[in-house]
Amino acid sequence: MQAFFILLGALAVIIPGCFIVSLFLPATVKVVRVRVIPATPAAVFQQLNIVHNWENWSPWHQIDSHMKLLYTDTESGVGAAYSWESENRQIGKGAMMITNSRQDEFIATDMHFMEQRLAKATFKLEPVAGGTTVTWTMTAELGHNPFKKFMGLLMDKWVGKDFEKGLANLEAVLTNKQLSFEK
């Protein structure tokens, strides 16, 4: 019986403590990865702006090549979108739509994950000697949910790895190299 009260007392301290700590955690998560790709901004832009091309380089398409994809009639630019559904829990269900597109410079997307979370992603393209600097950024609002805020602390590590792999794949597609299938 004494062990029960010790456990109950510990929980009475830990649970409110987690809630209090979460008040000081950021309500927004931001993941940024940058890579110089030896290709023109126009070539990079084409891979990003045409949603069907995401199958060529997206790290998530490699995880489940059998996921169901549904594309809108608009194939490129603002309004171009697709949705996905996968039995793989890592991929899940969601949708992506291009919300802003500036030729050879910038792409912005809204990504909805499992019908509950919205993330905004951007691709900024800058010409440099020898290619294009591609900056892939994702921001997501976590709200006030303590669990989401704690998970947000891990997002840079988790999503960042996928972004790095995606940028490496994008480079491979644009330079006709072997895609990276490492996990």
CATH number at residue 32: 3.30.530.20
CA distance 113 to 175: 31
**Sign of the C-alpha dihedral computed for residues 102, 103, 105 and 108 taken in this order:** positive
What share of the chain in percent tops pLDDT 70?
82
Give the pTM.
0.82
Residue 141 sits in which domain range? Answer: 28-175
Tokens of residue 74, six digits:
């608009």
Tokens of residue 5, six digits:
């009260």
pLDDT confidence of residue 183: 45
Residue 17 maps to a domain: no
Measure CA of the first residue to CA of the last residue in the chain; give whole Å: 47
| Strand 93-102 relative to strand 117-128, pairing | unpaired
Residue 59 maps to a domain: yes
pLDDT tens digits for 82-95?
999 988 887 888 89
Residue 19 maps to a domain: no
pLDDT confidence of residue 43: 94
CA distance 92 to 121: 18
CA distance 171 to 108: 19
CA distance 78 to 52: 14
Q: Give the chain's domain count.
A: 1
**Under a CB-based contact definition with an 8 Å cutoff, are residues 74 and 80 in contact?**
yes
Q: Which regions of 61-177 does DSSP assign to beta strands (E)?
A: 68-71, 81-85, 93-102, 106-113, 117-128, 131-141
pLDDT tens digits for 7-58?
767 666 666 665 665 566 667 789 999 999 999 999 999 999 999 999 899 9
Residue 35 maps to a domain: yes
